[in-house]
Amino acid sequence: ICKFNIEDSVIKRIKKDVIGLSLSSGKTSDSSYRDRRKVMLCRMSPEGITGEIIKNLIPTINQEFGYKICSIQDIQYIKYKKGDRYDWHMDIDDNDGAFRKISIAILLNDGFTGGNLEFFHEGETINSKINKNELIAFTSFINHRVTPDDSGEREVIVAWLKGDAWR
């Protein structure tokens, strides 16, 4: 798990990129999955401004993890309102997730309480609060969650970086 500071000018460019995006509940037919997630989200193109910013960070992230990341698999803009949360999960599955190496989150704002990013590792829950203008990167198979937002709105960009399938 690594954190990186993101310059305010870069955060401003990302915030301009999300203006006017149409958020949805990201509904799925899998009720067990749907019950773990209560957020509003919008998928974003890796070819847009935010995608270009993340692509420029890949060499730094590669240097930290050594996973030979080659591209962005997916980007989402997520808004958490009071009570919204994302329960325990991993970002890897048997399909496309097998190529996911690194999950990242970039916090775009402050002015909210709760909404903490937590990891479950070796039987312990680890609170890894991120601050505005921070990017946190972690291996995609680490179990994690976002606790309920207590007040205000939490805005975050999440993305998954991919490479060759896990062996």
**Could you give the CA distance from residue 39 to residue 95 in angstroms, rounded to a whole number?**
23
- Report phi then psi at 55, rounded to 5: -55, -40
Quickly tell me which residue has 């270009």 as its tokens: 52
Residue 115 — left, alpha, or beta (φ > 0 → left; ψ -120 to 50 → alpha)? left
pTM of the predicted structure, to 2 decimals = 0.87
* Residue 97 pLDDT greater than 80, yes or no: no
Structure confidence at residue 107 (pLDDT): 95
3-state DSSP: the chain helix, strand, coil percent, rounded to 5?
25, 40, 35
* 26 — pLDDT class (breaks 50, 70, 90): low
Structure confidence at residue 166 (pLDDT): 67
Rounded average pLDDT over 35-64: 86
* Residue 96 pLDDT greater than 70, yes or no: no
Considering only CA atoms, which of 64, 59, 86, 53 is closest in space to residue 159? 53
The lowest-confidence range among 12-21, 46-55, 95-104, 141-150 is 95-104
Structure confidence at residue 28 (pLDDT): 44
| DSSP state letter for 91 | S
Structure confidence at residue 37 (pLDDT): 54
* 39 — pLDDT class (breaks 50, 70, 90): confident
Rounded average pLDDT over 15-23: 85
Mean pLDDT for all residues in the chain: 87
